[in-house]
Structure 1
Amino acid sequence: MALANDENKDLIERDLIYSIWNQHAVVDAAIGTIIDYGSKDRRKDRDSYAEMWKRWYYDDYYRSYLVPLEKYGLKVPHDVVEDAWRRISDDFYHHHVAQFFATGWPVNYWRIDPMTEEDFEWFEDKYPGWYDKFGKWWEHYSTLSEPNGHKPIAFENSGYVYPHRCWSCMVPCLIREDTVMDYVDGQWRTYCHKWCHWQDTVAYREEYKGRPTPAMGKMTGKREWETLYHGWDLADIVHDLGYVRDDGKTLVPQPHVQFDQSKMWTTDNVKGIEFQSPNILLNEMSDEEREKHMEEYKQGFTINSSL
């Protein structure tokens, strides 16, 4: 019925782009991390998330459902699907997400345990080159998992650079060379990819290709949760989030799954650490500082060999 009116094709094609991309940017980030990092089944014949995605999304959903839509006159956004597949197969997308989740463990409500040698072997087998990109960082994570006078890993000198957050999908800009920075609606914003930039600046606007689309609205509000806690003490943030146990000091999140109380992190261990918003800092920079910062950001980082 929708295709009976040619004027609807532009909107349907727009919707295909942002729905496919959002499925990737948000769903692959979460489900990919859960499937690969939330399992202790390290059998070599168990499919990785990338193998599942290739079979069930790329070969099945994309080729069997999306591509045939072209016979109805729709333009299927093949480049969007290919960009998503590249990020999973070549750019370690959900592995960067898992690293970020573990980096920010004090402000999450779950527990992420350190990796074992068996984990390392499985990831390297399924994703060749994984250890060179992530192995040393996960070793640092294990070293810093129990409180011993040090800070949480996000605030230690591991070499990891806390990421900017995407204004559209709200997942951090983790494949850093893909990051887009733009001045939109009176402020500087960051986007994880050109397709997320397109959503905010083109798709989610009151007009699309000359046709009024007021229902799309705009991406407004506090898109980056770090903005809410800019300049706060980390201990106060955890209290405000409600991530403190009944004793009033032990944190709900922990960087391990041990239950020995002596190995639990408390608010005392995170007190005095200032939390900052990358977006607020970006907007406070001069134009020259901002350009230099983004150039360095897109070059990525190198994990230190030792802490």
Structure 2
Amino acid sequence: MHRTLNIPLKLMKRYRKDKQMWELFIFAVCIKCIKGSSGIYPDVMSVRRMMKCSHNKAKRMIERAKHCKELFYYNEKKNYLVAHTFTHGKLEKNYYRSRRKEFVAYSAYCYKFRYEPSDTISHFDTSRCLRDRLLLYSISAKERKNDFLIVAQNSTRSERSKALSVKKLSHIAGMHHTTVSRHIRKLEAANMVKVKRHDFIKVADYISGQTLTDNPSLLKRKPFLRQGYLVVKDANEYRLGSACGDVFTNVIFNHVKRHSRNYSRLELALAHYDN
């Protein structure tokens, strides 16, 4: 049975470019997926087994986590490491009024990370998964914004300045642009992303130097050599594919339905324990 962990997008964006903090963030995610208490006794061999990682990586993460108060709490006396809740002190506060009643909502825009409960979860695979979700989120946000231009019948594209170029995607996901291209190809093969690749536009003959266009906007762009011509190319267009079932949504953590559902589950668990 799948379970869901709500991970705030702001938290993912905060750590995406810091390699050490991203590693610790994924460490915290893995702990939460494996342990319902979000706590472990940080033994190198057990962490290595749980996270499917090397001895050196397990040792490095444990030592750094002990001193990272932003993501963890460490009880030195008991040698117990707890991953903090991802929402503590990070929720947005909004006021709603209806029928003379005021409701204070504490919410965060989250990626609903679905996982299979087990004694192990790969640190590497989880990291790669969440990096991909940053890419998918940016594509999803572009679709929701719906600011594509109609340039031909049954065809749309973005304004060049607003298009999701590989450079922009690499900034969003905190990856090198070649890594982004590789991940996009993988997501496209899995039908999670649809890619519209535009044709190359010839601007000059490389041998003769003859200009092949009088469009000033094309001449201002930085060309590259392809098959004897200097060419330019518009950024690819991305859409979510039919196989993408990811959910990015605003979660109200103190919603009455959420509280009642969690309370019912707690009652059921306690009743089972008492029996």
What TM-score do you get using the length of structure 2 for normalisation?
0.30
What TM-score do you get using the length of structure 1 for normalisation?
0.28
Relative to its length, the structure with more helix (as a share) is: 1
Relative to its length, the structure with more strand (as a share) is: 2
